[in-house]
Structure 1
């Protein structure tokens, strides 16, 4: 809610939005102070201020609707039976917008850190840990924390957390259950996590084209020094329509990220850790050497650290990466301004396997280095604080020695990022995970075709017109799917794959693996769309990606020498209650003998 409202308000000149926010805040205050006054609950379109400062300003009308106003022929009315909690929430959000100090990114100064005196500059892995530990001093920057606190709608989130707590207490009392070890802090953390994920921060795989607003895809890393403003990592994304190159800077500075509020897991965890610190919680930035980051927050009620992944909006599910995403954990380090700790064992239920993969540093040397780094950082602290940190660390080390078993929610695949991005990283759900393995030595003419008939609901692997293998049922022959079903229309005698009813989007993918290098691939992927439905299909292998044209036909030599390819289709859009039916794969008559999906591989 706040993200959409803020985006709209920020499209206007700043002075114009400030006037609008001031007027809307006054309207809310009048109603909340005198809720039975009909004059305050009625706004006329003919009123000059209402027309010029609300209706003619981006975000103004949206704000009225969020407050609860209903549009009439002459103006807007707040019905007498309207719950004023929405009004209070919007007033709070408008206050947050005013305090957020929206500014041109060019005027924002990066966070300055004191110089670092390295202890382990001759050991690459330990030096990397040392550098990250030093950078995490930014989470203690008072000016930055103060600025971060202003963007959080603390009153709204606190009210929601209190309502959650009351509901839990009533449930416990009614059912005579034991008192749970949950606190207002824990529930407020859940509210912050949800708000951050759904309203504050935006996930970006590829930015919209700056020239035509069309979709783009990654092209290369920029070498243009003019792009390197507050960062030395700038991705270039090429528009699929006009070919224009749009830069996407990968910022790490927190002052900048509080302005841009977008990125991928690195930016998300960076800012979420800051906001948790701004709430006066002990928070840690957690870095997995296998390419992911998240946050930990210490729960005083539970007396332990809680895993929080803002990208996924999940809390206290530490085994999800190993069990659900299929990551081979090796080193996971947690960093705060006060301490650095090896927390790998919290994120694995296979400690012996993990130990066999840890080859970057001798275990004794690593433990000694972490102790030295912690001791050096804590030199200037008070004795009570040092004693608290030491005691807490001892309890944590005991906890990390015990292997946990996965619980509910820890076997789910990754949700953030598009289907192709998750597939290529191997972070999808466990089932079905079917792979078409093609033994080239068993082929008679160095070519093989995999095809699917939705009428017969069967896949076939064919070579020299001979069926080498068949798999019945659409879901048992694909690698990954989400919100997909097979639909048969009895009246029209048609059958196809479609989104599950009422779903907004769906994806499906097939993976093909070869025993010898590929020469070329040709593909036919038939699909139909209605209304505003869209089907986006791609083929990928390692760093090679190619979009499948709208006619569903493709011939490509781009994948030469590859040992696998993945074909993926994403289904979105449509209108009305049957929007899910407006994107269809492999539509054909129920008695058809054709194969609307086929992919042929030729080998060297």
Structure 2
């Protein structure tokens, strides 16, 4: 369990005076009250110091340049997307991949064994910064490891782990620290995320830090199959019922809403909003009112799901898909692995790749590592619609085709530069995993012959005498919104040191 320094202050909020007797509305009021933390100046300054702003701005500017190039080429119309929109995407990516950690269950703090949830603790000694302490029991030694579920964002900046509640709470704070209007969004059906206001597009963008997705509001209903009822968004300035942004069937949702009458909910939101904004300037009130009017108008339109809607896309424009990272420039590095004369004289050469380490090694026959090449795409001859996917929650990594891509392919090229030698045999290890109807085809091609590799490990003798080899993997198939995940190359755990791609070349004299 992460030790919280004793000098870290808890976020201090004013006393809450309950205005409602209805339990649901009391919950809305409590969450709205907790959102005051996002305007704590000292807390936002702490968050700003953590964010690698320069790094994110450089990456965002690169995204924006790519978008502008597409517009110049006539591939897309000019759209209202700004550097802020790019920064939102970069902050999401950094938060998911580098900053926060998903916790399903914990490793035992006593023996390191695997644990499972056992019960909620009632021990007052553990309840220092929270009243919710999960106890996870070890399957090896039987002892329990505590997992505190913190709501205090000041504490979460230290622990940096949890589930969707901790993720969205902390991400919303970071967005506020960036100077953006941001809201903590609560789905009554047990999920939370963030909304950020895009100044260029003049609308709220759905941002789910757990999934690293932006502007895909229909994915919960049409992709996840969630049955929606109430989705409420909270900032330190206002509260809003945003259910209609996330549903493609308003009538069905309305029929399920029975925790209070619709008029009671509207009256409560207006009452809470007016109370919170009592001391605001006239200009600020007018600005917030304009935001609300525009938002309510937007949510009146019921979006009908298409296949792309099910994947969360609200606009078919190339520019916005490009800006959100759904379309990126393909890798065309044209890297060729040259098997040199001196290296071949040692009997064999192995080129291998580990996705967990994300590097290649060129290994000589005597076991010496001659070359190490960082990043998967640096050793690729050609690639289309392929990327390296890290699953932080499941602690797995693999190569897959990009989201929404029907097909993906990746190839590696090897050339023997030795007039006295030819390739005798090739030992190929190309581990992959498929799910549902996913499909992976691996092809080995020489100057004169092409064969399909139907096994994860195979020794090939039929290409004896060749000097050029091309290995290509083609990814396709799968079902539904996550079809791209149903064909995975080199899947392994993030802490693995194995090499699921390994090609060993043995040589013989060129007669």
Scaled by the length of structure 2, the TM-score of the pair is 0.64
Secondary structure at the aligned position of 1:317 is classed as: coil
From 237, 245, 250, the counterpart of 2:144: 245
Residues 395/141 of structure 1: CA separation in 2 closer, same or farther (3 Å cut)? same
- Give 1:118's aligned residue: 18
Is structure 2 residue 364 aligned with structure 1 residue 377? Answer: no
Is structure 2 residue 500 aligned with structure 1 residue 577? Answer: yes
Q: Partners in 2 of 1:484 and 1:116 — Cα distance?
A: 56
From 7, 10, 19, the counterpart of 1:107: 7
Q: Partners in 1 of 2:286 and 2:273 — Cα distance?
A: 13
Task: Please show how residues 508-547 of structure 1 align to structure 2 within 5 Å.
Answer: none
Query: Gaps spanning 5+ residues in structure 2: where?
Result: 313-390, 396-433, 442-452, 459-485, 503-511
Deviations along 1:174-211, one digit per CA (max 9) or x if unpaired, are 22742121100000110000000000000010111101
Asked if structure 2 preserves the Cα contact closer than 8 Å seen for 1:105 and 1:259, the reply is: no
Deviations along 1:139-159, one digit per CA (max 9) or x if unpaired, are 000010111110000111011
Q: Partners in 2 of 1:578 and 1:361 — Cα distance?
A: 58
Deviations along 1:312-350, one digit per CA (max 9) or x if unpaired, are 000000000001110000000000011000000000001
If asked which structure has higher relative contact order (CA below 8 Å, sep 6+), I would say: 2
- Give 2:98's aligned residue: 199
- Give 1:63's aligned residue: none
Query: Gaps spanning 5+ residues in structure 1: where?
Result: 1-101, 420-474, 493-498, 506-532, 534-570, 580-604
- Give 1:411's aligned residue: 310
- Give 1:131's aligned residue: 30
- Give 1:590's aligned residue: none
Asked if structure 2 preserves the Cα contact closer than 8 Å seen for 1:504 and 1:573, the reply is: no
Aligned-pair CA distance for 1:572: 10
Aligned-pair CA distance for 1:117: 2.0
Asked if structure 2 preserves the Cα contact closer than 8 Å seen for 1:378 and 1:386, the reply is: yes
Aligned-pair CA distance for 1:244: 2.2
Asked if structure 1 preserves the Cα contact closer than 8 Å seen for 2:101 and 2:393, the reply is: no
Aligned-pair CA distance for 1:240: 2.3
Higher mean alpha-carbon deviation, 242-251 vs 197-206, is at: 242-251
Aligned-pair CA distance for 1:482: 9.3
From 64, 81, 94, the counterpart of 1:165: 64
Is structure 2 residue 292 aligned with structure 1 residue 393? Answer: yes
Task: Please show how residues 200-349 of structure 1 align to structure 2 within 5 Å.
Answer: 200-349=99-248
Q: Partners in 1 of 2:167 and 2:501 — Cα distance?
A: 35
Q: How many residues align?
A: 350
Task: Please show how residues 592-603 of structure 1 align to structure 2 within 5 Å.
Answer: none
Asked if structure 2 preserves the Cα contact closer than 8 Å seen for 1:204 and 1:262, the reply is: yes
Residues 329/416 of structure 1: CA separation in 2 closer, same or farther (3 Å cut)? farther
Secondary structure at the aligned position of 1:293 is classed as: strand
Task: Please show how residues 171-182 of structure 1 align to structure 2 within 5 Å.
Answer: 171-175=70-74, 177-182=76-81
Greater fraction of residues in helix: 1
From 40, 47, 54, the counterpart of 1:148: 47
From 71, 82, 95, the counterpart of 1:183: 82
Deviations along 1:5-64, one digit per CA (max 9) or x if unpaired, are xxxxxxxxxxxxxxxxxxxxxxxxxxxxxxxxxxxxxxxxxxxxxxxxxxxxxxxxxxxx
RMSD: 3.1
Q: Partners in 1 of 2:111 and 2:127 — Cα distance?
A: 24
Q: Partners in 1 of 2:225 and 2:95 — Cα distance?
A: 26
Q: Partners in 2 of 1:152 and 1:127 — Cα distance?
A: 34
Deviations along 1:52-111, one digit per CA (max 9) or x if unpaired, are xxxxxxxxxxxxxxxxxxxxxxxxxxxxxxxxxxxxxxxxxxxxxxxxxx9943331110
From 487, 502, 527, the counterpart of 2:489: 502
Q: Partners in 1 of 2:58 and 2:226 — Cα distance?
A: 38
Q: Partners in 1 of 2:232 and 2:191 — Cα distance?
A: 11
Residues 276/269 of structure 1: CA separation in 2 closer, same or farther (3 Å cut)? same
Asked if structure 1 preserves the Cα contact closer than 8 Å seen for 2:188 and 2:230, the reply is: yes
